[in-house]
Each structure stands twice: as C-alpha cells, then as structure tokens.
A = this chain, B = another copy of it.
C-alpha cells in the first residue's frame, strides 16, 4: 500500500522488485487489496519491451484525508485521496496569533467546510495533517517555544484536534512539511534535500536518506545563526544579529515601515520588488545574501542533492539569485558539484502537500488497512 501510495509501485512486477517479495505473493496480496476496495487497476502502462504492466493505484473511493497549512496570516487547506492527489483545495483567512483555542476550533470548521465543498462527504475521513509555523515536538504533537505564536507554548494541538474531530491527527513544523512535500512531489529518487522557507519567519526542513530528519525534535533551525550585517538588530531570542532579525519577511517589513512604506505581509514585499521599487529590491537582495551566507556552511556540511527555496520571499527573483550567488561563490566545488538550487516546484502548496503525505503515511501504516481487509 505504501509503495503504491508513494507512486513508486505502479504495477505488480514493480512492487515485487521494490518490496523484495516473490511476484506470486505480490499478486495474491494485490488481489486481496483490490477485493477489499483499497486498490484498483488503472489501465495499462507503457511496455518496457515485453507485456504491458497493469497499472495499480489506490482506490479513490476508499477514503480521504484533510491537509492544512497554517500560516501566520492564513490557512491553506485541501482534501486528498489516498494516492495523495488533491481533490479540492483553497486558501482561507485566519491569524495564528488569535491563539490556540480559536485556531483549533477554526481548523475544525474549515475542515468540515472543505470536505463539504470537495463533495466527498460520503467517503470516510481517515486523517488530518496540519503544518504549523513553529517548532513541534513530534512525540507529543505539541508546539514548543514558538517565537511568533504567543500563547501556543506546550499547547497540545494534535490531541485537541483529535478529540474535536475524532480522527487520526499529525502535526508538524511547516518547513519540515515543505521539505517532505517537495521531496515527494518534485524530486523523486532524491536522497538528501534541504528546504529553506523564508516567509514571515525563516525555517529549514531536512530530508536525510529519503526520510524527514527531526534530530531531537528541533532540527532545521537556521533562524538564529549570527550573520555579518551592516546595521545591528536584536532578535526575539535575545541575541543580536540573528539571520531572522535581518532577513525574514517580518524583519524586512519592519525596516521598510521605518522608511515610510506601508507593508504588513511578505506578499506585499514581493509585489514591491516586482513593481521594480529599487529600495525594496536592494533590501530583498541583501536578505538573500545573508541567507546564502548562513546556508553555505550547512550545504558543505550536509551535502544535499537539492536545495529548495520556498516561502513568500522565494517568489522574489533577486532574493533567489542572491542566495544562489552566495552559495556558488563560497561553497566547496565538491559540495556544489551536482547540487540543484531551485525554487519550490509545488510553490505555495508545498507544505500542504507535505502534510497530506505524512498523514497518509500514518494512515497506511495504521491498523485501518488490516481492519478494512478483515471486514470484507
């Protein structure tokens, strides 16, 4: 099931190769799963010189999951089928600063609303995946020590939502989800990937050996690395000259407001850059240079196949160019040889798609599969 879900096992023969099981055993299992309504055949694939494979896919009527990306000022939400295909998706308003009680209740309402609009009320809801703009302890699904989320510390988002909606819930940091989303949807076969999200805040998700690297739960924090900047700035963490205090969307907006611009959101920054306002472009390019300065040692150290740039600021071409330049200038040839530096293939959907992928993994590894098999 997992292999088919990840799009890696498209036929019985391929499943046999990937799983290491005998073709005969795979056929038997697949037969069972088809009878239980979990898998279905989906026409024939291209021949590789012999008989054409009979493509397999997860049955889209078997159930759905809801994936949500909670941003600082909005919520992006979608319904996905078991294969991770987006059935319906939209963006809704909502400030994360409204606090945990309000936001969890809002998520519940949004979820049912989204299911309604997706016209899948007759299918079982198997799980909910949520991305949050702050550190999440994967063990407890609690938010820990968030910098831009007052009132959220130690709040058990996952448990609350599971109670409210009576479904399996997965909660994860948004940068981590972006990494997962890009890895699954944009870079098949890539083993090691870094995804840097520069929006209101700055975060980084890490895929090591094809799996999300969480470390002790806080991995990927790059926002409080000291940078060499022209002007001093104090960060919310108490230290001075953190990357986040200089190069985040929030920091840039703050700077521009002192100069008389009316900017509130990162998106407005990008608009100003696209309008060709020189002062803003210079500022954004500077932010990119600082981000590159921080990323250089990390790229040398981690030596990824792909570096994905996402989040609001990645839509500004000067920002991306400055990051690229900084990395190619100072990284070792051995580290940049074959390194891809790209903006998010799935754009603003990356986090949401990642949330869907992870909750689908959980659902497909859960008892639900066995129970469904047994009940038919």
Binding site for B on A (CB under 8 A): 135, 144-145, 192, 204, 206, 208-209, 211, 213-222, 224-226, 237, 239, 294, 296-298, 300-305, 330, 332-335, 337-339
What residue in chain B is nearest A213 (Cβ atoms)? Answer: B208
Complex interface: chain B residues within 8 A of A217 (CB): 303, 334
Query: With contacts A208-B213, A330-B239 known, is A301 near B298, CB below 8 A?
Result: yes
Complex interface: chain B residues within 8 A of A208 (CB): 208-209, 213
Q: In the assembled complex, how far is the CB of residue A153 from the closest CB belonging to chain B, in whole angstroms?
A: 12
What residue in chain B is nearest A338 (Cβ atoms)? Answer: B216
- Which of B135, B145, B215, B335 touches A304 (beta carbons < 8 Å)? B215
Complex interface: chain B residues within 8 A of A305 (CB): 215-216
Q: How many copies does the complex hold?
A: 2
Query: With contacts A208-B209, A330-B239 known, is A300 near B224, CB below 8 A?
Result: yes
Contacts A216-B337, A220-B301, A298-B298 known; 14 new A-B pairs at CB < 8 A = A144-B334, A204-B301, A206-B301, A208-B208, A208-B209, A209-B211, A216-B305, A217-B334, A218-B332, A221-B301, A221-B303, A221-B332, A294-B297, A298-B301
Q: Are A302 and B215 in contact (CB under 8 A)?
A: yes
Q: Are A221 and B335 in contact (CB under 8 A)?
A: yes
Looking at A208, A220, A222, which has the most chain B CB atoms within 10 Å of its CB? A208
CA distance A333 to B303 in the complex (A): 26
Q: In the assembled complex, how far is the CB of residue A356 from the closest CB belonging to chain B, in whole angstroms?
A: 23
Complex interface: chain B residues within 8 A of A192 (CB): 213, 215-216, 219
| Chain A interface helix/strand/loop/mixed | loop
What residue in chain B is nearest A305 (Cβ atoms)? Answer: B216
CA distance A55 to B290 in the complex (A): 56
Q: In the assembled complex, how far is the CB of residue A292 from the closest CB belonging to chain B, in whole angstroms?
A: 13
CA distance A294 to B296 in the complex (A): 12
Q: Are B301 and A334 in contact (CB under 8 A)?
A: no
Complex interface: chain B residues within 8 A of A333 (CB): 145
Q: Are A334 and B300 in contact (CB under 8 A)?
A: no
- Which of B213, B222, B302, B332 touches A300 (beta carbons < 8 Å)? B222
- Which of B214, B224, B334 touches A135 (beta carbons < 8 Å)? B334
CA distance A364 to B244 in the complex (A): 48
- Which of B209, B302, B337 touches A209 (beta carbons < 8 Å)? B209
CA distance A326 to B251 in the complex (A): 27
What residue in chain B is nearest A329 (Cβ atoms)? Answer: B239
